[in-house]
Structure 1
Amino acid sequence: MSGSANEEPGADGADVEHLAAVLARRRRELAGGRATIGASSVVHAVEETVWVGVRVPVVVCRAATDPLRLRPSEKPVTCRRCLRRASGVRSARVPRGQTELDV
Structure 2
Amino acid sequence: MSGPANEDSGAAGTDVEHLAAVLARRRRELTGGRATIGASSVVHAVEETVWAGVRVPAVLCRAAADPLRLHPAENPVTCRRCLKRASGGRSARVPRGQTELDV
Q: How far has the Cα of 1:90 moved from its partner?
A: 3.0
Q: How far has the Cα of 1:89 moved from its partner?
A: 3.1
TM-score where L is the length of structure 2 = 0.79
**1:2 matched to which residue of 2?**
5
Q: How far has the Cα of 1:13 moved from its partner?
A: 1.2
Aligned CA-pair RMSD: 1.8
Alignment: residue pair count: 89
Measure, in 2, the Cα distance between the counterparts of 1:51 and 1:11: 20
Question: Could you say which structure has the higher helix fraction?
Answer: 2
Q: Letter of the aligned partner of 1:74 in structure 2?
A: E
Structure 1 segment 18-97 matched on structure 2, within 5 A: 18-91=18-91, 93=95
Q: Letter of the aligned partner of 2:25 in structure 1?
A: R
Q: Once superposed, which parts of structure 1, at least 4 consecutive aligned residues long, lie more than 6 Å away?
A: none
Q: How far has the Cα of 1:11 moved from its partner?
A: 5.0
Instruction: Classify the secondary structure of the residue corresponding to 1:35.
Output: strand
Which runs of no fewer than 5 residues in structure 2 stay unpaired?
96-103
C-alpha distance after superposition, 1:5-59 (max 9, x if no partner) = xx78x85211111000000000000010000000100000000001111001000
Identical pairs, percent: 79
Larger Rg: 2
